Amino acid sequence: MKFLNRIAVISNICFFLLIPLTYIHYVEQYQWLAATILILAVLAIILNVIVLISSLLAVIFGKKHTIPKVLFFINLICFVVQVAFYFYLNTKH
């Protein structure tokens, strides 16, 4: 569970790196980097859902919570920002 949570945090960082890439044109020689950031950024929202649901289920069923609270709240805040970005801020006019 800790490993999945850390991967979700790394994906969240890639999501926040993706936001400026959507507004600026990147140099052609860095296409592989932009593709990697894009894949991890899209994966971030999926990982956040999995991590948040599994953490919620662990709390409901009374299992010991092995994830640090800081990582949980970082993922929660990033999830809210991602939902806002995908559904509200990223609309085309």
Tens of pLDDT, residue by residue over 36-72, are: 777 877 888 888 899 889 888 888 888 776 777 888 8
Single pTM value for the model? 0.73
Under 8 Å between Cβ of 22 and 46: no
Residue 32 structure tokens: 């592989």
- Distance from C-alpha of 57 to C-alpha of 71, rounded to nearest angstrom: 16
- Distance from C-alpha of 93 to C-alpha of 63, rounded to nearest angstrom: 47
Q: How many Cβ atoms sit within 10 Å of the Cβ of residue 17?
A: 16
* Each residue's pLDDT tens digit, 11-46: 888 788 777 776 776 656 667 777 777 787 788 888
What is residue 90's DSSP assignment?
T
Dihedral sign from CA coordinates of 75, 79, 82, 88: negative
- What residue numbers bound the domain in which 24 lies? 2-89
Please state the domain count of the chain: 1
